Amino acid sequence: MKKHIFTLPGDGVGPEVMAGAKEVLKKIAEKYNHEFTFEEGLIGGAAYDANGTPLDDETLGRAKNADAILLGAVGGPAWDNVDKTLRPEQGLLKIRKALGLFSNLRPIKVFDKLIPASPLKEAIVGGTDILFVRELTGGLYFGKPSERRDGGNSVVDTLQYTREEIERIVDYGFQAATLRGNKLTSVDKANVLESSRMWREIVDAKSADYPDVEVEHALVDSTAMKLITNPNHFDVVVTENLFGDILSDEASVITGSIGLLPSASLNSTGFGLYEPVHGSAPDIAGENKVNPLAMILSAAMMLKYTFHLSEESEAIENSVDAALKSGYHTMDLNIEGGKTVSTEEMVEVVLSNIK
């Protein structure tokens, strides 16, 4: 298989973790007789510094012509005073919207070796394996108007969805449930919000197309509590943009480190942008300390969801698991009796386990 991958290292630790992911993909290509080519572009603060915009149209055009996109991280305090329309995060929002990346997948899986690092008791967190399916291009983050009024003394943000936008993400949630445990939790705030009442109606209508999937409706506040008290209750969780953003970040803490969590953003054709959840971590940028595993696991998700290379994806996941079981970890983790290694050393350990 020959695939062209567009890389956007971005800001902070982004270039460091991207370098590791590329090395792992090259190893996979060599082992399984594939050809992966790479092309690099600028996004976020790096793009603003170079071009005065967090994502220019030329870079966006090159991204559209690739088979998939890997993204490192965007943002940092260096751009805190930039106009809000030109902040690094706007580059990420722009590429999601332009490429129709409406479905955000965030797996929350606890590695046995890292259970002691979780703030939750082992009896609660052990075995946690959740997939969040978050709507990514609508809702409060994109609704208009969004502005200050009355001389800055009042403000309005708009939560807006079309039926089509809700239907397509709900349908993706049901599809994901059929590939896992046939259980879907739909999260809303239907006791207060009209948008959530419409959301719930659509979930009920869609459930007729998936009779084998057990469906439950849950309010976002009760879900937030249950994620901490009983995370094993959940399998696939589907929800709108704001709720998905908050809940998936909350759930990430369960694993013991945000440095292990990948994500995928997909459109209706299966084209995807893959990125770690951890952000740019500017305080350790350039110090060879960042955990590269979330970026490496994001590359594994790319192989699985866009390239449909399940065996190759599992090879990466198994190599990460083997590295952790052997006690190797970066500074963000604490494995009893383990060995703390640098970013580059961690990548080498993962590479050595791809046999």
Give the residue numbers marked as catalytic: 141, 189, 221, 245, 249
| CA separation, residue 309 to residues 40, 302, 316 (Å) | 23, 9, 11
Residues 15 and 282: their CA atoms lie apart, in Å, by 12
Phi/psi of residue 208, nearest 5 degrees: -65, -25
Residue 344: other Cβ atoms inside 10 A? 13
Residues 245 and 242: their CA atoms lie apart, in Å, by 5
Residues of the chain by 3-state class (helix, strand, coil), percent to 5? 50, 20, 30
Residue 27: other Cβ atoms inside 10 A? 18
Q: Report the residue count for the chain.
A: 355
Structure tokens at 300: 């594994």
State the DSSP code for 281. Answer: -
Residues 4 and 41: their CA atoms lie apart, in Å, by 13
Phi/psi of residue 306, nearest 5 degrees: -100, -40
Segment (H or E) for 2: strand 2-10
Residues 355 and 348: their CA atoms lie apart, in Å, by 13
Minimal CA–CA distance to 290: which of 216, 325, 341, 338?
A: 341
Bridge pairing between strands 129-135 and 103-109: antiparallel
Structure tokens at 318: 């198994």
